[in-house]
Structure 1
Amino acid sequence: MVTLCNNISLQIPNFKCVLHNMPDPFIARESIWLPFMESELQCDSKTIIIGHSSGAAAAMRFAETHEVFAIILVAAYTSDLGDENERESGYFSRPWQWEKIKSNCRHIIQFGSTDDPFLPWNEQQDVAHHLSVKLHKYTDRGHFQNTEFTDLLNAVKKLLPTPV
C-alpha cells in the first residue's frame, strides 16, 4: 500500500494507493495525525508513506515508533521555524529519534528544493544528514505544490517488486 499525507496523488497498477484528507489540516497536530495514520490509513510494515511538509514531519514521527516499508519525504524539516502554528503541531517539542526512524524504515527517500519559500535549505539538509540519505536537490520546485512530480512516481515504482 502507498499512503499519501497531504496532497500528492499516484496511480500505480496492481497496488492500493490511498489518499485521504488529513484531519486538522491547518495545525496538523501530531496527536491527531499519527493515530489517524495508524487506525484509518492502516500504515504498517508494508506501507510506503509519502509525506509532504507537515506530512513529512508526521511520517518521521510515525516511523520513530512503527515499522514501515518506506518513507518518502518531500519538503522535510527539523524545527518549528519560529512559527507558532508549527510549534502547536507538536512535532518539534522534543528531540528527533533519528536512529529509530532509520531502523524502522527499510527505505528512506528525500526530495527538497533550494527555492522553497517556507523552508530554509539547511533544515532540509539537516534531515538528510541525520537520516543518512541522499537529498534529491532541486532549485526550481519551491514547496512542491505543483500537480505533477514524475521523479516521485519513479521513486515509488523503484521500491515496488517487479511484476512476475
Structure 2
Amino acid sequence: TLETLCSSEANPQLVWQFSGMVKVAIVPGNGAGNVLRCNWYGWLHGKLHHPPGLTCVCRNMPDPLYARESIWLPFMQNELGCDEQTIIVGHSSGAAAAMRYAEKHRVGGLVLVSAYTTDQGDPTEAASGYFNRPWDWAAIKGNAGSIAQFMSDDDPFLPISEQLEVAQGLAADLHRFEDRGHFQNTAQPELLEV
C-alpha cells in the first residue's frame, strides 16, 4: 500500500532512497480551489499525514485555473518542498506538472492519476505550458524512484490513447479501471494500495 511504501521501517528497500522521513505531496488538477475540500485530496491527506515519519502536504495552488507550468513547478519546489524524498501524487493537470517536474528533478516516486500528453485543443491547457514540447520519458523514469498510474476507460475528459501513452512511455505500474471517470470522488481507496 502507499502507506506501507511510505514507511521506511516497513519497506527496507526504501532505506537507501529515504533517510527516515518520507513526504507525499498532492498536486491537484486545475480548478481545484480549496484543495482539502476538493475531490479525494483531503481524504488522502488525512490518511497519509502521520508525522514525524510520514508527512503529506496538500496546499492550495497559485494560479489554480490555468495551472501554468511557470508558476506551479517553482511552487512545487519552493513551497511544497518536492525533493528526492517526496512521492508526488498528481491528478490531471497535477499529473502533467508532476511529470514535467520529474524531467528536471529527482523525486522519490510518482503516482499519476488521470495523466495525459496533449492540450487536446483546449486553449487553457495550451496556455499551461506543459504541452508545447515532447515528453522526456527517459528523464522522468531516471529521476523517479517508482511510478504508478491510475486511469479509467470512461474518463470524460481524457482519451484512452493518451493515458496509455503515459503508461507506455514511463513503463508505469498501471491501474486501469472502466468506471472511475476522471477520479473525482471524495475518496479513492485504490491510491492507498500502490
Q: Given the two structures, how large is their TM-score scaled by the length of structure 1?
A: 0.92
In the alignment, which of 104, 121, 128 is matched to residue 143 of structure 2? 104
Q: Distance in 2 between matches of 1:31 and 1:78?
A: 18
User: Is 1:5 the counterpart of 2:14 in the alignment?
Assistant: no
Tell me the alpha carbon deviations over residues 85-113 of structure 1, each in whole angstroms, 9 at most, x when there is no partner: 10000000011111000000010000000
Cα separation, 2, equivalents of 1:51 and 1:17: 13
Find the partner of 2:159 among 108, 120, 123.
120
- Measured after TM superposition, the shift of residue 21 of structure 1 is 1.0
Among residues 67, 77, 100, which one is paired with 1:28 in the alignment? Answer: 67
Query: Normalized against structure 2, the TM-score is what?
Result: 0.78
- The question of 1:95 aligning with 2:95 is answered no
Aligned to 1:158: none
Identity of aligned residues (%): 56
Structure 2 Cα separation of the partners of residues 121 and 25 of structure 1: 25
Q: Distance in 1 between matches of 2:56 and 2:171?
A: 27
What aligned pairs does 1:146-161 form with structure 2 within 5 A after superposition?
Answer: 146-155=185-194
Equivalent-residue separation in structure 1 for 2:99 and 2:153 (angstroms): 21
Counterpart secondary structure, 1:60: helix
Q: Structure 1 segments of 4 or more deviating over 6 A?
A: none
Give structure 2 stretches of 5+ with no counterpart: 1-22, 29-34, 36-40
Are 1:76 and 2:115 an aligned pair? yes
Deviation at 1:132, TM superposition (A): 1.2
Structural mapping, 1:137-148, within 5 Å = 137-148=176-187
| Structure 1 letter corresponding to 2:138 | E
How far did 1:133 drift? 1.7
Supply the distance in 2 between the matched residues of 1:5 and 1:133 (Cα, whole angstroms): 18
Alignment partner for residue 77 of structure 2, among 11, 18, 38? 38
Q: What is the letter of the counterpart of residue 26 of structure 2? A: L
In the alignment, structure 1 residue 136 sits paired with structure 2 residue 155: no
How many residues are treated as equivalent by the alignment? 155
Secondary structure at the aligned position of 2:26 is classed as strand
Q: Helix, strand or coil: the match of 2:108?
A: strand
Q: CA deviation at 1:135?
A: 2.0
